[in-house]
Structure 1
């Protein structure tokens, strides 16, 4: 489901279409946007502090079969949050999981290829520094 969280609204639409999961759902909580406080810790173990606010969109839906799905996303894309909630609800149906997993695997593959391409591009510009004499002798 992590890939569903990283997917765009168009990718989520494609996943639902490929899996034959109809995007018809009743809104339990219509997509809404708000702010959350992001907290941090220096070094991971220091005292917590407020780092700032982040925009979050959430949605909750119910399928005609009674399955309920929830989604929270950073950002303001309401369609993306609703589609992710629909995907979450369909994921709860055991008969829908294989088709959804196969469609999500395609997204995972595309994202992995893009990450590898970015890593290769960064590696091509890598500079390695070394010294011949350090002055410790």
Structure 2
């Protein structure tokens, strides 16, 4: 069995990855796993809650569109997914990948050939964005004159 943190990590990578890249990676695996759709992908809203400084009072930041799906492999495990936006195919593929990643016979291959490359791509995008932001950073300072 896989720890909750391991599963959260791979689900984060799957849900954060662009749907086209995830689909390309899945097709390259050429896995034919029989599954049943338990909860067809459906789109809804979730409420975003924020806190000022992470410690202040809660406030409603707004709503966000999410799509969720649940599948079950014929061999037993259930796969769940929640993805931002309205892409139903992305949600279903994330749920299928979640279920397959729970199977020991496929886990190592999927992790090596799907999760790690997608994670590296996301990390590279994040670092690129951080460099872009750092390049435009402006430091403000105040000059104090005398004692008065």
| 3-state secondary structure, aligned to 1:116 | helix
Tell me the C-alpha RMSD between the 2 structures. Answer: 2.2
Alignment partner, residue 69 of structure 1: 79
TM-score normalised to structure 2 length: 0.77
* CA distance in structure 1 between the partners assigned to 2:99 and 2:116 by the alignment: 18
Note closer, same or farther for the CA distance 1:4–1:136 as it changes in structure 2 (3 Å cut): farther
* Aligned CA distance change for structure 1 residues 134 and 23 (closer, same or farther; 3 Å): farther
Match of 1:115 among 100, 122, 126: 126
Tell me how many residue pairs correspond in the alignment. Answer: 136
TM-score norm. by structure 1 comes to: 0.82
Q: Which runs of 5+ in 2 are unaligned?
A: 1-9
Shift of 1:136: 4.2
Q: Which structure 1 segments of 5+ residues have no match?
A: none
Q: Which residue of 1 aligns with 2:4?
A: none
Shift of 1:25: 2.5
Q: Is the CA contact 1:31–1:82 (under 8 Å) kept in the aligned structure 2?
A: yes
Q: How does 1:115-134 map to 2 (within 5 A)?
A: 115-128=126-139, 134=144
Tell me the SS of whatever aligns to 2:105: coil
2:117 is aligned with 1:106:
yes
1:86-97 aligned at under 5 Å gives the runs 86-97=96-107
Cα distance in 2 for partners of 1:101, 1:122 equals: 31
